[in-house]
Structure 1
Amino acid sequence: MSRSPFRFSENVQFDYETRLALGAAWRQGADVGEVLATAAAVADGDGGAWFTAWAELAARTAERAGRSAAEGRTVSARDGWLRAAGYAGTALVGVDAVADPARRLAEVFPQHRAWFDRFLRACDPPAEPVSIPYEDTSLPGYLVGPPGGSGDPLPTLIAGNGSDGPVSSVWTLLGAPAVARGYRVLLFDGPGQQSMLFDRGVPFRPDWENVITPVTDFLLARPGTDPRRIALAGVSQAGYWVPRALAFEHRIAAAVADPGVVRVVDSWWHQLGPELRGLWETGDRDTFDRFLREGLGQDPALAATWRWRARPYGIDSPFDLLTEVSRYDVTPVADRITTPLLITDPDGEHFWPGAAQELYDLLPGPKRLVRFTEAEGAHLHCEPMGRALFEQRVFDWLDTRLTTA
């Protein structure tokens, strides 16, 4: 994955999650010492131990935040709630490796959201919980604004999450830097994402314009939204959802895909290899499912990661799952994208290597490809430990685009 000499876990996914947690410290979403101590305790990559260690750290952090709140220490409480929420979200990455994942998910996920809610209520000004009309239901979210303000309409960033990250993560990756620059930010869970999945059982969908269009409608109906300065940014798998939505929703002034994604299924084949892909392409569903399940049965860690990543699609058959994921392809609609789009392209991108350049080449409209290198310390998927550099490059570009919108 990288030439870096640092390795925090024998499990590739847990190693990456540790880096993501360390990067969150830039926006007070973690403490470096807490992260390193916890990661060192579970460096052998055992999924059950990972879940337990991070869940216990989250609970201890929340307990201290509660004591600070009771004593009127609002800053300590606010920062503690955010760290607690982030650590609980990190724990959930390993939930499918524990003996009773459904029960532990039902315990820890509500705690994660409650702690994040308390953090947002302690912000200045407090965030506003919102309910976004969506088909026959609604999408839960938060509107977070900068301190003070003249009452004039603000630029608004729609912060799009990826396939399995918690809302606390998209806050530190996109929301906090936007608010610090005077934006209003909309955080929300779409279909298949965390609260929509865990609480309501709503799976992913490939046609993300049917999510972003009602979100945009919602914002435009709100006072304080400048209709000329609505931006959309997305991390991880939202590197597909952002351009997909832009192909149909043209009220967005500027957008960011971190990283660029063309075909979501490529990340699956990159991990599974050409032999399994060839078997899938034969159309022999039963043989493919049997072969893959046998392989997963021999590798419990891989099986747990598979279950975690497959969960948002709601499909049991591996063959049918990959058939569904293959529908997430922006190629047929890329020529409709006219919104200025910044695409990140980090060294060591291990989910969608090469996709950022491919997406850039497909776009007919205004575009920018931004490299992040290992020499800068800003490499790997979503630049987990290069957050200051990411913010400077990406938000400087967004500021320029929204100023001239």
Structure 2
Amino acid sequence: MAYRFCENEQFDFEVMALLGAAWQQGSDPGEVLATAGTLREADGRRWFEGWTELARRVRSDGERAAAAGRRTSARDAWLRAAGYFGTGLVAADALADEQRLLSVFREHRECFDRFAAAWEPAAERVAVPYEGTALPGYLFRPATGGADAPTVIVNNGSDGPVSTAWTMLGAPAVARGWNALLFDGPGQQAMLFEHGMPFRPDWENVITPVVDFLLARGDIAAGRLVLAGISQAGYRVPRALAFEQRIAAGVADPGVVSVVDSWWNNFPPELHELFDSGDRTAFDQVMREGIEEDEEFPALWQWRAKPYGIHSPFDLLTEMGRYDLTGVLDRIAVPLLVTSPEGEQFWPGQSRRLYDALPGEKEFVEFTAAEGAGMHCEPLGRALFEQRVFDWLAARLDVTA
């Protein structure tokens, strides 16, 4: 975009994502712009405090509305507050205070819980059985919908809050008369912050329990399941579909073949050569010196690395190298839509790489800057995204909504 809201690139993107969330009532543009205007050159601490302050103010508005019996006003305020808390948490690692991160995460989640309970009909809080524990989630249903309504399994990315998963994929599904399941998998949100459970590359072992849970209920139509994912879930969705055949269609926004490339794209070639040499000690030393030289980068590195639960840069990048679809692409038979936003800043070119390698039914959907829908996850092009993606899904599932 010609206009930048913040000097920090990550913060600038977060403002755009919040503005896009207004399409599904996940933010108020005036609140976003007024707050972003005070944070244009903010460091991590100021960013965290600015959005947390707004979130608490909006949460208080919701609580007053609820006390007065104004359900709709309360519901809308709680959703916005959840989104603002989530935006602040992007910089929580700049505080070097894990307990403060956890405390604010719980405030975020409490707001979303209240929003979900105030939804009509109220969302059902669910627990998906998973390897001796349970993955927390929310099952949203439309006010009117038949027994054969499709169900969208919303797969979050690496660090997005559940409120973003709702506005990007859950809300548009429910608006069309479909069910939507939002859940936290390993390395995501509650499973990371509350339970310390890291990511895993074999995501089929997460999605299969989710599918088992849904189909065991008796009120979810078999053969009508959709798996849709945003950001790093552009890897997770096709990975799961290579093994889980009970899904009717999938969406990867954007397509991701090799997760680690988003990191290597930002490092000089000589650093990659040092990594390839296998000298773990030397690589970690160079990386840590480089990280500490940048005032803002240490917090961002920690935020991005946190879901993997690995502190050594060498070990982290080694582990991330396992998040690669190359060996399983020929197994994907489920129809898959792959988005390709112009200016994709994390995995440029990988949407086309994924699409070209798919052996079965597939669709390649481009979003351009001229349409106002460029950049990772089309932050400012949500209406166009919904139209193209959900119309394709509707055609695959033979529904008219």
- TM over 0.5, yes or no? yes
Counterpart in 2 of 1:169?
A: 164
Q: The residue matched to 1:131 in structure 2 has which SS? A: strand
Aligned residues: 399
Q: Deviations over 1:170-202 (max 9, x none)?
A: 000000000000110000000000100000110
Aligned pair 1:360/2:367, yes or no?
Answer: no
Any conservation in 1 of the 2:367–2:374 contact (CA below 8 Å)?
yes
Aligned to 1:136: 132
Contact 2:145 2:178 in 1 (8 A): no
Q: Who is 2:200 aligned against? A: 205
1:5 aligns with 2:5: no
Task: Tell me the distance in 2 between the aligned counterparts of 1:336 and 1:51.
Answer: 43
5 Å matches for 1:34-183? Answer: 34-98=31-95, 100-150=96-146, 152-183=147-178
Report if aligned partners of 1:14, 1:45 keep a CA contact under 8 Å in 2. Answer: no
User: Structure 1: which 5+ residue stretches go unaligned?
Assistant: none
- Offset, 1:224: 2.0
Alpha-carbon distance between aligned partners in 2 of 1:398 and 1:84, rounded to the nearest angstrom = 31
Whether 1:270 and 2:265 are equivalent positions in the alignment is yes
TM normalised by structure 1 equals: 0.97
Q: Secondary structure at the match of 2:160?
A: coil
Distance 1:149 1:263 in 2: 38
Q: Choose from 222, 226, 229 the match for 2:224.
A: 229
Q: Which residue of 2 aligns with 1:215?
A: 210
SS at match of 2:296: helix
Once residues 273 and 138 of structure 1 are traced to their aligned partners in structure 2, the CA distance between those partners, rounded to angstroms, is 41
In structure 2, distance between residues paired with 1:6 and 1:274: 31
- AA at the equivalent of 2:397: L
Tell me the secondary structure at the aligned position of residue 158 of structure 1: strand
Which whole-Å CA distance do the structure 2 matches of 1:385 and 1:375 have between them? 12
Match for residue 12 of structure 2?
15
**Following TM superposition, by how much is the alpha carbon of 1:40 offset from its aligned partner in structure 2, in angstroms?**
1.1
Aligned residues of 1:160 and 1:235 also touching (Cα < 8 A): yes
For structure 2, the residue ranges without an aligned partner over 5 or more in a row are none
Task: Answer whether contact 1:154 1:224 (CA < 8 A) is retained.
Answer: no
Q: Does residue 1:323 correspond to 2:318, yes or no?
A: yes
Alignment-mate amino acid for residue 359 of structure 1:
L
* Counterpart residue number, 2:331: 336
Aligned residue type for 2:106: P
2:124/2:140 contact within 8 Å kept: yes
Query: Deviation per CA, 1:129-152, whole angstroms, max 9, x where unpaired?
Result: 0000111111000100000335x2
* Deviating more after overlay: 271-280 vs 63-72: 271-280
Shift, 1:302, TM fit: 1.1
Distance in 1 separating the partners of 2:145 and 2:158: 34
| Partners of 2:206 and 2:341 in 1: CA distance | 27
- The 5-angstrom pairing of residues 376-395 of structure 1 reads 376-395=371-390
SS, match of residue 89 in structure 1: helix
* Alignment partners' CA distance in 2, 1:153 and 1:308: 40
The one-letter code matched in structure 2 to 1:64 is: D
**What amino acid maps onto 2:83 in structure 1?**
G
Q: Alignment partner of 1:319: what SS?
A: helix
Greater Cα offset, 44-53 or 185-194: 44-53
Is residue 22–residue 32 contact of structure 1 (8 Å, CA) maintained in 2? yes
Match of 2:307 among 287, 312, 329: 312
Q: Distance in 2 between matches of 1:210 and 1:394?
A: 26
Aligned-pair Cα RMSD in Å:
0.9
**Correspondence for 2:298 among 295, 300, 303:** 303
Look up the SS of the partner of 2:251 in the other structure: strand
Does structure 1 retain, via aligned residues, the 8 Å contact 2:140–2:179? yes
| Correspondence 1:284 to 2:279 | yes
Q: CA deviation at 1:278?
A: 1.5
Give the Cα separation in 2 of the matches to 1:104 and 1:362: 44
8 Å Cα contact 2:144-2:177 kept in structure 1: no
Q: Distance in 1 between matches of 2:268 and 2:235?
A: 21
What residue identity is the alignment partner of 1:102? E
Q: Which amino acid aligns with 1:39?
A: A
SS of alignment partner, residue 125 of structure 1? coil
The separation in 2 between residues aligned to 1:175 and 1:381, in whole angstroms, is 18
Aligned counterpart for 1:252 among listed residues 247, 252, 271 = 247
Distance 1:77 1:142 in 2: 19
